[in-house]
Amino acid sequence: MTYEALKKDPFIRALIQQADKSLSALGFTEHSFAHVGRVAETARYILETMDYSEHEVELAMMAAYLHDIGNLVNRIEHSQSGATLAFTILEKTDMCAEDIATIVTAIGNHDEGTGVAVNPVAAALILADKSDVRRSRVRNSDVSTFDIHDRVNYSVERADLAINDTHTEITLSLTVDSQYSSVMDYFEIFLGRMVMCRKAAECLGLSFKLNINGQPLM
């Protein structure tokens, strides 16, 4: 089993689509192929830049692609239910137990409520997932009815996650249009995620920095 094989699997694609439909009905931002694909590519960038093996990069991308399937069951504790679903899927493949365990552990620890960066794959998944803030994730087309999550995501015109040349810092740089959301709005809903990113970065030997509109905030 590989990342490319996961992407082409119709059963897995159906789970991701239905999970996203459930979140859409609940008023959540986009969690479909655009999100999981972006998270997978960002996780790859993080581990490749930090000189992890191709195998670990592959596992991180697979974990990223599957990380939100738990929303099929319920948004509450979706990381744990997603880990269980991922285990059920992967144990039927040719993957070894150690690799399955790594992916399942990463998925089960990606949510800020209970998650911990227990290994590099989990750390890369956390950083990649929590940094995916962008206008195109907002489904609601009526600005007047935006909730705080819509406002914050819609306000982000650009989000870049980058590791410095000396591989000592990872910085999330956001360009925010204050017409739709304030910096305080961002912290109100994302502070827990940023703290989680800081701890995930530490797992990889990095310091986490947050920069909004050119101003360092973490």
Residue 203's pLDDT is: 97
Whole-model pTM? Answer: 0.95
Per-residue pLDDT of the chain (218 residues; tens, 9 = 90+): 899 999 999 999 999 999 999 999 998 999 999 999 999 999 999 999 999 999 999 999 999 999 999 999 999 999 999 999 999 999 999 999 999 999 999 999 999 888 999 999 999 999 999 999 999 999 998 998 998 889 999 999 999 999 999 999 999 999 999 889 888 888 888 899 999 999 999 999 999 999 999 989 87
Residue 139's pLDDT is: 93
Distance of alpha carbon 116 from alpha carbon 126, whole angstroms: 9
CATH number of the domain encompassing residue 50: 1.10.3210
Q: Which domain holds residue 205?
A: 3-216
- Angle separating helix axes 183-203 and 148-155, nearest 10 degrees: 70
Q: Which residue has the tokens 């995501």?
A: 153
And the tokens for 146?
């935006």
CA 26 to chain centre: 19
Decide: 201 and 127 in contact? Cβ < 8 Å. yes
Residue 175's pLDDT is: 94
CB neighbour list of residue 97: distance below 8 Å, 6 or more residues apart: none
Distance of alpha carbon 38 from alpha carbon 128, whole angstroms: 8
Residue 181's pLDDT is: 87
Sheet strand arrangement including 169-176: 156-163, 169-176, 207-212, 215-216
Q: Which residue has the tokens 């192929």?
A: 33
Residue 187's pLDDT is: 86
Residue 15's pLDDT is: 97
Specify the number of domains making up the chain.
1
